[in-house]
A = this chain, B = another copy of it.
Amino acid sequence: MRVLILGGDGYLGWPTAMRFSGQGHEVCVVDNFARRRWVEDAGSNSLTPIASLDERIKAWKEVSGKEISSSVGDIAEGTFLADVVQEFEPEAIIHYGEQPSAPWSMKSVDHAVTTQENNVIGSLKLLWAMREHVPEAHLVKLGTMGEYGTPNIDIEEGFIEIEHNGRKDTLPFPKVPGSLYHLSKVHDSHNIHFACRVWGLRATDLNQGVVYGIETPETKLDDRLLTRFDYDELFGTALNRFAVQAVIGHPLTVYGNGGQTRGFLNIVDTLQCISITAENPPAEGEFRVFNQFTEVFNVAELAEKVRHAAGELGVDVQVDHVSNPRFELEEHYYNPTHTKLLELGLQPTLLSETLIESMLGVIKDHQDRVIQDVIDPVTQWRPSPLNEPAA
């Protein structure tokens, strides 16, 4: 299968590229290195020292004997992406090529505009390129569980049957996303749904939970194959950030009371989910939504798990409840369905103390690279002290 991976130089994109290549698929990676630039512009870095894309591809060839091709450019600019799609003729397109940080999107009007322009227009151009050149291809789009927000009812996978005034319909699950980044993903989902309904494209929208983990079987093969690992306030996600904080002796930064509950999954399960999804494409015109996570935790629980695992290694960790920079409920109902990937064969890798200890060990190897002053939350969701969100 010819697999095009947009954002294939990123945290998940690069391991995904190696996974498909290792399975014998023909892989082409597209990236414009925006993530590397954004992290550098924020004064931060990847905890893991990462090779350039060219070096990665060369190392992968040495290690596996397999070729990955690449095309460097911006998917939202001109006809770059359409040209790549026309030439490579992918059968599956894995789309990670978006600005992925909620706080980054909330920093300023320019950050907000860049996020929605890059994400929405990039995906819209992809849909149009598929319509013109590969209408049979399968789009595997990375969305986020954050599209749903935290409604007071069970979250279904993309669609919900609504009974109203004696009539019924099955409609898209209503979205109440929590940042301008999350909104960009909601916009994408609506556009992709349209492209399936009207143009007959086929797509799977993966509403992914928060990903944690630093290694996959492929990244362990050679130091040049490491994937990036972010720990700063902008690009670091909850568990990854806590693990780095624990290693360097920084108090764990729990936002508010830490009752915010979210779906989580291990990076190795992301790879599993993407493979399973690509192996089971939807029908022509079908728009599928899978909720992609394996476990639900609240932030305070996660911090406690990290504190405990670090304690087992003899490291004493403090948990700080810092003023919440985001606008979100800290106590809420949360019960999202996530059966579709399990039905297709996903074998969850659950979060264990052993796993956290192993993460802490790898982080320790690189701890001298940590830039301390990008860790504490600075980016505020709101311009000035306003009221707390209503419960």
In the docked arrangement, what's the CA distance between A387 and B152, Å? 38
* A172 interfacial contact with B, CB 8 Å: yes
Find out whether the CB atom of A190 lies under 8 angstroms from the CB atom of B183: yes
Q: Which one of A132, A164, A175, A197 has the greatest number of beta carbons of chain B within 10 Å?
A: A164
A151 surroundings in chain B (CB, below 8 A): 169, 171
In the docked arrangement, what's the CA distance between A158 and B116, Å? 23
A153 interface neighbour in B124, B129, B168, B193, Cβ under 8 Å: B168
Find out whether the CB atom of B177 lies under 8 angstroms from the CB atom of A190: yes
Find out whether the CB atom of A128 lies under 8 angstroms from the CB atom of B154: no
Type the 1/0 row for A144-168, where 1 means its CB is closer than 8 Å to any CB of B: 0000000111100000101111011
A200 surroundings in chain B (CB, below 8 A): 382, 386-387
In the docked arrangement, what's the CA distance between A187 and B120, Å? 10
A172 interface neighbour in B169, B174, B187, B383, Cβ under 8 Å: B174
* A391 interfacial contact with B, CB 8 Å: no
In the docked arrangement, what's the CA distance between A216 and B250, Å? 67
* A226 interfacial contact with B, CB 8 Å: no
A152 surroundings in chain B (CB, below 8 A): 167-169
A131 surroundings in chain B (CB, below 8 A): 383
Find out whether the CB atom of A198 lies under 8 angstroms from the CB atom of B382: yes
Q: Which residue of B lies closest to A161 (CB)?
A: B164
A125 surroundings in chain B (CB, below 8 A): 109, 113
Task: Name the distance in Å between A286's Cβ and chain B's nearest Cβ.
Answer: 12
In the docked arrangement, what's the CA distance between A187 and B171, Å? 17
A154 surroundings in chain B (CB, below 8 A): 164-165, 167
Q: Which residue of B lies closest to A193 (CB)?
A: B176
Which A residues from 99 to 145 make CB contacts under 8 A with B? 109, 112-113, 116-117, 120-121, 124-125, 128-129, 131-132, 135
A33 surroundings in chain B (CB, below 8 A): none
Find out whether the CB atom of B333 lies under 8 angstroms from the CB atom of A167: yes
* A297 interfacial contact with B, CB 8 Å: no
A285 surroundings in chain B (CB, below 8 A): 387
Find out whether the CB atom of A180 lies under 8 angstroms from the CB atom of B171: no
* A310 interfacial contact with B, CB 8 Å: no
Find out whether the CB atom of B132 lies under 8 angstroms from the CB atom of A121: no
In the docked arrangement, what's the CA distance between A117 and B187, Å? 12
Q: Which residue of B lies closest to A188 (CB)?
A: B187
A190 interface neighbour in B160, B162, B168, B175, Cβ under 8 Å: B175
Find out whether the CB atom of B171 lies under 8 angstroms from the CB atom of A176: yes
Q: Which residue of B lies closest to A148 (CB)?
A: B171
Q: Which residue of B lies closest to A154 (CB)?
A: B165
Which A residues from 179 to 237 make CB contacts under 8 A with B? 180, 183, 186-187, 190-191, 193-194, 197-200
A193 surroundings in chain B (CB, below 8 A): 176
* A80 interfacial contact with B, CB 8 Å: no
Find out whether the CB atom of B172 lies under 8 angstroms from the CB atom of A175: yes
Q: Do A174 and B171 form a contact, CB below 8 Å, given A121-B113, A162-B160?
A: yes
Find out whether the CB atom of B109 lies under 8 angstroms from the CB atom of A128: yes
Q: Do A194 and B175 form a contact, CB below 8 Å, given A154-B165, A164-B154, A382-B199?
A: no
Knowing that A151-B171, A153-B167, A197-B389 touch, tell me 15 more A-B residue pairs with CB under 8 angstroms.
Answer: A82-B109, A117-B117, A117-B121, A120-B187, A135-B383, A152-B168, A153-B169, A154-B165, A160-B162, A171-B174, A174-B174, A183-B190, A187-B187, A199-B382, A285-B387
23 CB contacts below 8 A, A to B, read A109-B124, A109-B125, A112-B128, A113-B124, A113-B125, A116-B124, A131-B383, A151-B171, A153-B163, A153-B168, A160-B164, A163-B163, A172-B175, A172-B176, A173-B174, A174-B174, A176-B193, A183-B190, A183-B191, A186-B187, A186-B190, A199-B383, A199-B386
